[in-house]
Amino acid sequence: DGGITQSPKYLFRKEGQNVTLSCEQNLNHDAMYWYRQDPGQGLRLIYYSQIVNDFQKGDIAEGYSVSREKKESFPLTVTSAQKNPTAFYLCASSPTGYEQYFGPGTRLTVT
């Protein structure tokens, strides 16, 4: 059963703690992406990776870090340097860079 998964669906953290969001895909896609979505807003690109062991910053990379050690996995770490981390985080993958397939999202709440 192919797809893209994110875990957990809901995540709660205390301010000052780093937290890592998981994203896994078994679609054999080369490209993977992380987006952030705030209420009533569109998606904003955090990081993207077009190939294993390589990734680029998106529009709002400050306070976030990623790794791409395996084709299937693209975890996102929200660091304590991110000033407003509470948001809905979406991971996507793509075979071509045009049509993206999205995961179900992780809703992160930091208090």
Binding site for other proteins (CB under 8 A): 31, 33, 35, 40-45, 48, 50, 58-59, 88, 90, 92, 94, 97-105, 107
- Least distance to other proteins, CB of residue 4, Å: 8
Sign for the CA dihedral angle at 79, 11, 22, 103 comes to negative
With tokens 């793509």, the residue in question is: 94
* Closer to other proteins by Cβ: residue 13 or 44: 44
- Residue 76: CB minimum distance to other proteins, A: 14
At 85, the amino acid letter reads P
Token look-up 């080369």 returns 30
To which residue do tokens 């705030």 refer?
Answer: 38
CB of 102 to other proteins, least distance (A): 3
